[in-house]
A and B are shown apart, each in its own frame.
Chain A
Amino acid sequence: MPEGKLVLITGRSTKQGTGISNGKYLAEYQEATTVLGLSQADMARHGLRDGDTVRLISRYGEATVKCRSEDLPDGMAFMAFGSTINQLVGDETYASGMPDTKGLEIELEKTPA
């Protein structure tokens, strides 16, 4: 993994799942799908604290989200499925029908509060 880049993993989470039923425009779902998890070391490396805003950039697009410390390996970021994460996912499926939803390489920049 090149210096400064992270591997982005997306997936389901409990609050994302309940939020689907309770309402995607309510705070529960919005918070679940717009907060990026990072390891403590990566948070420190980027000078971040829980709740800071960061800009994520992939080769397909970018998104601005909040971040927090989670139990993750260094170099890995996690965010739950939703329209925010899909700003970063490309449309190339390599003739499989399936886009690169997991294992996406991203850059991260701290943004002013």
Chain B
Amino acid sequence: MQVDNVVCAFCGCVCDDISVTIEDGRITQAKNACVLGKAWFLSHGQPSDRPAAMIDGQPASLDDAVDTAARLLAQARYPLIYGLSSTSCEAQRQAVALAEALGGCIDCCTSVCHGPSGMALQGIGEPTCTLGEVKNRADLIIYWGSNPGESHPRHMARYAVTPKGMFIPRGRKDRTVVLIDVRPTPSARAADLFLQVKPGKDFELLWSLRALVKGQAIEEAGLVGTGLTLAQLTDLAERMKRCKFGVLFVGQGLTQSRGKHLNTSAAFMLVRDLNSVTKFALVPMRGHGNVTGIDNVLGWQTGYPFGVNFSRGYPRFNPGEFTVVDVLSRNEADAALIVASDPVASLPRKAVRRLTEVPTIALDTHESETTRIAQVVFITATAGISAEGTIYRMDNVPLHLSNVLPSPHPSDEQVLGRILARVKELKPC
């Protein structure tokens, strides 16, 4: 059986043109998917022999696991819910409701990925556009601190570099591509211009570009140690001012390096400044499939995109206080619910140590480093393959996740809904 126009939920590109072939109860082909998407469809589209729930490493009934998880969370003084970047918006809504019912913290992968972009959005505003507008209008593409060839393999071919658009009739020939990074990645080979910058100097370069775009003179001496010359930066500024529709794609090279939200704030300000001379937009290169979704769900439900706390009965936001690395490393969280994420593999070791010391509950589609240390584990149906729902692409466009391969396991939404109901019985408001 072939199912067309299936949405891939692996990375922030959220390609919606995948043709999936299903034979004997497993996915055997994923046409149009990139190498990452193919691996995702084929590995998640297999029958699972794992039990739906485990307590202390032993198979358990769903009822018992839900009850145990709810008790562990309800009796905690400072429970933390984390992850949520690879599940549906419907599941994310349950998680937010659960965090509120518990009076706990809820954070998502954003805080260790594009949290700094979110902070810049709050402080500056985000002059942005959809990927459709990029495809149809953009004649200058700049990737800064991003390696799309390995992180988002179809980004260039589907949206930003090669496709022909309404106002870009010749596709690649009508576009100039600039890649700015600290090392020559495979993506640099696809660029017309590769600018190699020194680590930790992005802020200085972005701020200097702001000056050049505004017609202010800067001295070569100010660029010493950045990796670029005044001539290179001036050329870049002129290209940005001369284009008809420019787009700056911002990657983790800016968010995770020295400066963090100051880097992204400088980038957002630069793009805002450019709109006084031309049309320019910025799109953060969101990594996980539905990390944009959890930002949106948390945003519309609490007013904040990540790092939210309900301890006082109302949502509060404070990066550094309610964000996962800080809450775990300071030993504040005394229970954790991890959903569709693997923080044991992705967080600094001091934060990981806390997860091994407190009761931890994990919901995931596969075994992971986090499920291996969790007291209660739920193996759930993969959103986008075996569970329906909503997903947000990196440009905030919502798309529908299909259920193309029924699974015996419940979805994240169903498990979280049951835990929430049990918590409300244990902790009536």
Interface size on A, residues (CB 8 A): 41
For B349, what are the chain A residues with a Cβ–Cβ distance below 8 Å?
60-61, 86-87, 89
Interface size on B, residues (CB 8 A): 59
A96 to chain B, nearest CB (A): 5
For A96, what are the chain B residues with a Cβ–Cβ distance below 8 Å?
115-116, 119, 260-261, 319-320
Q: Which of B147, B200, B351, B368 contacts A103 (CB 8 A)?
A: B200
Of A11-19, A40-48, A49-57, the one contacting chain B is: A11-19
Q: Is the CB of A97 within 8 A of B351?
A: no
B127 to chain A, nearest CB (A): 22
For B107, what are the chain A residues with a Cβ–Cβ distance below 8 Å?
97
A100 at the interface (CB under 8 A from B): yes
Q: Indicate with 1 or 0, residue by residue over A77-113, a CB within 8 angstroms of chain B CB atoms.
A: 0100111001101110111111111110000000000
Question: What does DSSP make chain A's interface, helix, strand, loop or mixed?
Answer: loop
B155 to chain A, nearest CB (A): 12
A23 at the interface (CB under 8 A from B): yes
Best-surrounded residue of A7, A76, A90, A93 (most CB of chain B within 10 A): A93
Q: Which of A14, A21, A99, A103 contacts B44 (CB 8 A)?
A: A21
- The distance in angstroms between the C-alpha atoms of A24 and B183, with both chains bound, is 26
Q: Is the CB of A22 within 8 A of B39?
A: yes
B249 at the interface (CB under 8 A from A): no
For A91, what are the chain B residues with a Cβ–Cβ distance below 8 Å?
325-326, 328-329, 348, 350-351
Q: Is the CB of A90 within 8 A of B112?
A: no
- The distance in angstroms between the C-alpha atoms of A91 and B351, with both chains bound, is 7
- The distance in angstroms between the C-alpha atoms of A23 and B115, with both chains bound, is 27
Q: Is the CB of A93 within 8 A of B323?
A: yes
For A71, what are the chain B residues with a Cβ–Cβ distance below 8 Å?
183-184
Contact A7-B350, Cβ < 8 Å, known A91-B329, A97-B111, A98-B255: no
Q: Is the CB of B346 within 8 A of A72?
A: no
A-B CB pair tally, cutoff 8 Å: 143
A73 at the interface (CB under 8 A from B): yes
- The distance in angstroms between the C-alpha atoms of A11 and B186, with both chains bound, is 13
The chain B residue with its CB closest to the CB of A91 is B329
B352 at the interface (CB under 8 A from A): yes
For A13, what are the chain B residues with a Cβ–Cβ distance below 8 Å?
150
Q: Is the CB of A21 within 8 A of B10?
A: yes
Q: Is the CB of A9 within 8 A of B115?
A: no
**For residues 163 through 184 of chain B, which have their beta carbon under 8 Å from a beta carbon of chain A?**
182-184
Spell out B's residues near A (CB within 8 Å): 10-11, 35-36, 39-40, 42-44, 107, 111-112, 115-116, 119, 147, 150-151, 153, 182-184, 196, 199-200, 252-253, 255-258, 260-261, 287, 306-307, 319-321, 323-326, 328-329, 342, 344-352, 366-369
| A–B pairs, 17, beta carbons within 8 Å | A11-B252, A14-B153, A17-B35, A17-B150, A21-B39, A25-B367, A76-B182, A78-B183, A83-B346, A90-B348, A93-B325, A97-B111, A97-B307, A97-B319, A98-B261, A98-B319, A103-B199
If A97-B320, A102-B252 are given as contacts, then 16 extra A-B residue pairs at C-beta distance below 8 Å, sorted by A number, are: A11-B150, A13-B150, A17-B150, A18-B35, A24-B368, A81-B346, A83-B346, A91-B326, A93-B320, A93-B325, A97-B112, A97-B324, A97-B325, A98-B256, A99-B112, A103-B200
